[in-house]
Structure 1
Amino acid sequence: MSRSLLEQRLQKPIGAPKPLGSYRPSDVVFLLKDLSDVQLERGTEDREEAIQSGVHYSEMLPVEYQPTPEYIRLFHQTLTESAQRVALGAGIVAEQVVARSGKHTVLVSLARAGTPIGILMKRYIAERCGLDVPHYSISIIRGKGIDENALLYILQQHGPEAKLQFVDGWTGKGAITKVLIEACQTFKQKYGIELNAELAVLADPACSSSIFGTREDFLIPSACLNSTVSGLMSRTVLRDDIIGPDDFHGAKFYKEWMKDDLSNHFIDTVSAYFSQISQQAKQEAVKLMDKKAAVTWQGLKDIKAIQKLYGIEDINLVKPGVGETTRVLLRRVPWKILVDRLDNPGLQHILLLAKDRGVPVEVFPELTYSCCGIIKPKNKKADIAASAEEEAV
């Protein structure tokens, strides 16, 4: 029955995606509905109150942070310092994916943080492995699941034998990994197709993925600038009044910021190192596949400890890792930032953003991650906050 349902859906035409984003069409195809003309942005305080009152985060967008000249300089400095490291991580992940799926590989990056990493992997595979693999970027949303229409479109284009490899930038608590696993289970029950739920990431500090380039928590420059380093795309949106049953999930394309766009600069800068790191990437990939690193979810255990220490009821208000902490500072209402040490050279942009927004920074020496952002809980009681601060000293 499920197989016939799949055949019926694959025979039903799904509208071809429209060109979106500032990346080269050869790098990625966005399977997203263009919502550029829809007013979706809400102020940070207003949006935070709405989220903590029960409105789903995917039903609105934050007003995108416009970085200061000082922050832009820091981005360029960080990119210069970390480009080779990012290239190596992307190469290690790409080598593992090709070893598993070969010419049947179809990269499916999770918009939007996964998109630049998927592009780097696609370019590496083309340059160093001689394979031109398809690459799509689709939406997955915590609490709502993955874009089923996008998956069906990919299967229409490449057949049920295609080996889809989902890609993201990094792991925080591992929440999206869990959403992906559940989504793949649902897809199998509904259509009889088993998708690979293993998420390939550049950095896996949460220890929640088995396909990764590193488990170190370091700054990936594409986490710095939101849309201007992510193809000028917003994060994804899913709301019944603007997304129909046959639509892809939606997103905005910020064409008006084209002059400020650094998306392709980031990709080109990192890709330039592929020839230098390819041999090491192959060797490290072999080691990782031989050793089969365990998925321990250690990061989640540590976050639960922080949650208990600071008296935070909702674990989703605790955002671990450099990438997630950056997001907290750019588009949420931060309560405080925890860092492993103040002289960590990889946290300059975190300290700069925290200073810019007046957010207190605390040293938390036992932190597994380099840093952790805590979103201000709604109606947080002062005595709980004071108690937590006393315990943390």
Structure 2
Amino acid sequence: MKGTSNHKVMDKKIAEPVALGSYPPSDVTFLLKDLSDVSLELATEEREEAIQSGVHYSEMLPVEYQPTEQYIDLFHETLRQSAKKVALAVAIVSEMIVSRRGLSTVLVSLARAGTPIGILIKRYIAERYKVDLPHYSISIIRGKGIDENAILYILQKHGLDADLQFVDGWTGKGAIRGVLIDSCNTLYEKYGIRLNDDLAVLADPGNCAGMFGTREDYLIPSACLNSTVSGLMSRTVLHADLIGPEEFHGSKFYKEWLDADESNVFIDTICPYFPSVVAEAKNIAGQMLEHPPEITWQGLRDIQSIQETFGIDNINLIKPGVGETTRVLLRRVPWKILVDTMDNPNLKHILLLAKDRGVPVEIFPGMTYSCCGIIKPLKGETE
């Protein structure tokens, strides 16, 4: 690494992070600027119109969906049913991280869906290997890249040779994976920093991650809810008027919803299953390390097929996978939902939400995903 690059990294004065979120500080440090007092929320239709007319999604926030009692019950039921399955996926990914990267890794989860998964990985490694890995949650934004100041802050804290492991919840069509690859290349060109752009996720239905717990497209319960399962944090925001050159990307901390917060319930329900999945996780992780699964980007090809079938010009209007479809139903204007089959047990909450919002559901067999959410083009099919 060139000396000038070292100075560039170490001399930039990055603001110290403030305490944010409803997780214990020992679980995660959010490298985000607190925008709690700024009004950024737009009604769903208004926000959709802005996005489709060219305003970047990161410059505003959706009004957070307040789930019905029936939906919260579904979250708890899903969590009970899938806790061991999630624990196994966490354990597999954790074992792969330890084997590939060692026990001096810095976990860097991508806010906000990656945050609870990063906490689970940190907790598993602490319990299994008695090592407390540092864990940060930082912003990455499609079309704008990763939060450079957050990366520089981590390197200033942990050294230029720190080994960062990026973590997210799941893959959709692989857009964030692509942004991560591009961002790591940019950091190398700008600072001479070579980061490993591999992404560790629980579920990889998009077939675009090298470390994953499963490629099954199932409901990770944290996809059911928004801020109330992500430490009460909003989506991340990057707006030139609000974020200075040495500040982190922004986010809001919704303290007013503390009574409805499920963030720690989610973590505390899954962690007790860790001891019972260690042997199976080691076995599966060992096989995957010996015979690394191919990264085929098959999910992206499926999306292109859907694009052609329905005449959709803008690929960003197609949101594949259970997690992304849930988000479409919670905070976008859905046009229709495609499912591989109506009796897929992973789709109970999708069908409930679709019914709740009056969104048609169609069968589209042969996808690598369980389902896809298609956002309604507001100005005709071509925009």
Both structures adopt the same fold (TM-score exceeding 0.5)? yes
* Matches of 1:207 and 1:103, distance apart in 2: 27
Secondary structure of the equivalent of 1:71? helix
Q: Deviations over 1:174-224 (max 9, x none)?
A: 000000000000000111110000011110000001111100000000000
Q: Which residue of 2 aligns with 1:222?
A: 222
Task: Judge which range, 8-17 or 175-184, deviates more.
Answer: 8-17
* Matches of 1:373 and 1:14, distance apart in 2: 39
Q: Which residue of 2 aligns with 1:364?
A: 364
How much has 1:347 moved relative to structure 2? Answer: 0.6
Alignment of 1:97-176 (within 5 A): 97-176=97-176
Could you tell me which amino acid in structure 1 is paired with residue 206 of structure 2? A
Could you tell me which amino acid in structure 2 is paired with residue 166 of structure 1? F
* 1:78 and 1:221 in contact (8 A); partners too: yes
TM-score, normalised with respect to structure 2: 0.98
* Matches of 1:213 and 1:256, distance apart in 2: 34
Secondary structure of the equivalent of 2:103? helix
Alignment of 1:231-310 (within 5 A): 231-310=231-310
* 2:138 and 2:150 in contact (8 A); partners too: yes
* 1:87 and 1:270 in contact (8 A); partners too: yes
Q: Deviations over 1:99-135 (max 9, x none)?
A: 1121220000000000000000000000012211000
Q: Which residue of 2 aligns with 1:387?
A: none
Could you tell me which amino acid in structure 1 is paired with residue 149 of structure 2? N
* Matches of 1:2 and 1:59, distance apart in 2: 35
* Matches of 1:242 and 1:101, distance apart in 2: 36
Could you tell me which amino acid in structure 2 is paired with residue 10 of structure 1? M
Unpaired runs of at least 5, structure 1: 385-393
Does the C-alpha gap of structure 1 residues 190 and 3 become closer, same or farther in structure 2, counting only changes over 3 Å?
Answer: farther
Alignment of 1:1-393 (within 5 A): 2-380=2-380
How much has 1:2 moved relative to structure 2? Answer: 5.0
Secondary structure of the equivalent of 1:335? strand
How much has 1:10 moved relative to structure 2? Answer: 1.0
Count of residues in correspondence between the two structures: 382
Could you tell me which amino acid in structure 2 is paired with residue 353 of structure 1? L
Secondary structure of the equivalent of 1:104? coil
* 2:8 and 2:191 in contact (8 A); partners too: no
* Matches of 2:3 and 2:163, distance apart in 1: 18
* Matches of 1:297 and 1:92, distance apart in 2: 21
* Matches of 2:231 and 2:60, distance apart in 1: 19
* Matches of 2:3 and 2:133, distance apart in 1: 26
* Matches of 1:3 and 1:321, distance apart in 2: 44
Q: Deviations over 1:312-342 (max 9, x none)?
A: 0000000000000000000000000001111
Could you tell me which amino acid in structure 2 is paired with residue 364 of structure 1? F
* Matches of 1:99 and 1:195, distance apart in 2: 18
TM-score, normalised with respect to structure 1: 0.96
* Matches of 1:200 and 1:107, distance apart in 2: 10
* Matches of 1:270 and 1:3, distance apart in 2: 45
Report % sequence identity.
69
* 2:171 and 2:208 in contact (8 A); partners too: yes
Secondary structure of the equivalent of 1:337? strand
* 2:9 and 2:191 in contact (8 A); partners too: no
* 1:106 and 1:135 in contact (8 A); partners too: yes
* Matches of 1:24 and 1:348, distance apart in 2: 32
Unpaired runs of at least 5, structure 2: none
